[in-house]
Amino acid sequence: MSVSDSTSTAHPDVELRLPADGAFVSVLRTTTAGLAARLDFTIDDIEDLRIAVGEASALVLPEADDGSSLVSRFFLQPGELTVVVSVDAVHPSPPDLDSFAWQVLTTLASSATIATDDGQYAVTLTMRAAHLDAH
Number of structural domains (the chain) is: 1
Question: Rounded to the nearest 5°, which phi and psi values hold at 8?
Answer: -75, -25
The pLDDT, as a whole number, for residue 133 is 55
Domain residues for 79?
5-133
pTM of the model: 0.88
CATH number for the domain spanning 36: value is 3.30.565.10
Express each pLDDT in 46-88 by its tens digit. 999 999 999 999 999 999 999 999 999 999 999 999 999 999 9
3-class SS letters over 77-97: ECCEEEEEEEEECCCCCCCCC
Question: Rounded to the nearest 5°, which phi and psi values hold at 89?
Answer: -150, 100
The pLDDT, as a whole number, for residue 67 is 94
